[in-house]
Every structure is written in C-alpha cells, then in structure tokens.
Amino acid sequence: MKLFKWTGPLEEAGNLPEEARASLMNNDEEVLVLQEAETTTLDNAVEYDILDQSGDLPSGRFAVLNNIPVNEEGRETFEQRFNNRARLIEAEPGFVAIRVLRPVHSGTYVILTMWEDEESFTNWQESQAYGKAHAKRGTKDGVDQRPNIFSGPSFVTTYKK
C-alpha cells in the first residue's frame, strides 16, 4: 500500500478529483490531501511506501507530519529504529492513527500522526509515553547522534479539519 500526499493552495484544491477532496488545512491556507491507494489520481502528489501503520487516517482532525531528511546510506538504520518502536503512542488519549512513510522519489521520510484534536497531540508530548519513545534522543545511543544518517534538519508541519 502507498500513501500519496498533495499540498497546495485552497483555490487549487477545488480542481482535485471528487474522491480526493477530504482534506485538512494549515494556518498558511495550504491544503493537505492524503490518499492511501496503490495508484493516485492526484497530480503532483508525493508518493510514499507505508512502512508501518496503525489506525484510520480519515477519522483524525489534527495531523502532525514530522519530515525527516535521511541520506541514502542512513535509510536502513533509520527504518530499523521505527520498526523497533515501542508502540506506546497507540494507547494515548486522542490518538487516531500513525503512518511511517518512506519516500519513493526523495530523501525525506514522514512520520504522520493523526489526532482527535491539537490538545491531544500536545498532551502526548508532555506524557511519559513521549518521554520513553524519545529517551535515547541526544544520547550516544540515539539515532540522531549517528553520523551520515540525516541530510538536513527535520521539520514539523501541522494541519487541521
């Protein structure tokens, strides 16, 4: 299964095929459309392989996309880190879905989480589960400390219904 991500201005979203119009928006009036399928009808969509998934994306009202540029030689190490994740996020109040996405034509992975609302996401960031999931960050055992994995800084984008 693949996930296709389309982003663009609100006025262009009206030209998308009818089946692709379920969308979210950010503060910059940019629309996010996500389509899980083997192929897409979305022009200029970014294609990802779904490495890991849980939950139902359309049920969410607040999307968080952690965009992580990874070098070619770091892909295996990066993917291994997410294959071995603790899966604690799934038990968090307000959690709806997660997708770990491998880029097909670029080097930027996306960890997509979907929440009932922004408050649920913020509460998770302050939780013990978040602390446990990120306990190795900044330590010698953390994937963020390994050389030649990342090709640039990560960045987060958020969208809501």
pLDDT in tens, 9-59: 988 877 776 665 557 898 878 899 998 989 988 888 999 999 999 999 989
pLDDT confidence of residue 138: 60
Give me the pLDDT at residue 23, please.
79
Domain count, the chain: 1
Q: What pTM was estimated for this model as a whole?
A: 0.88
Cβ atoms of 157 and 77 within 8 Å: the answer is no
Instruction: Give residue 18's pLDDT.
Output: 65
What is the distance between the alpha carbons of residues 132 and 120, in angstroms, rounded to a whole number?
17
Return the CATH number at 46: 3.30.70.100
How many whole angstroms separate alpha carbon 101 and alpha carbon 48?
A: 6
- pLDDT tens-digit series, residues 127-139: 887 777 666 556 5
- State residue 20's pLDDT score: 57
Domain membership of residue 22 as a residue range: 2-160
54, β-bridge pairs: 98
Report whether pLDDT(4) > 60.
yes
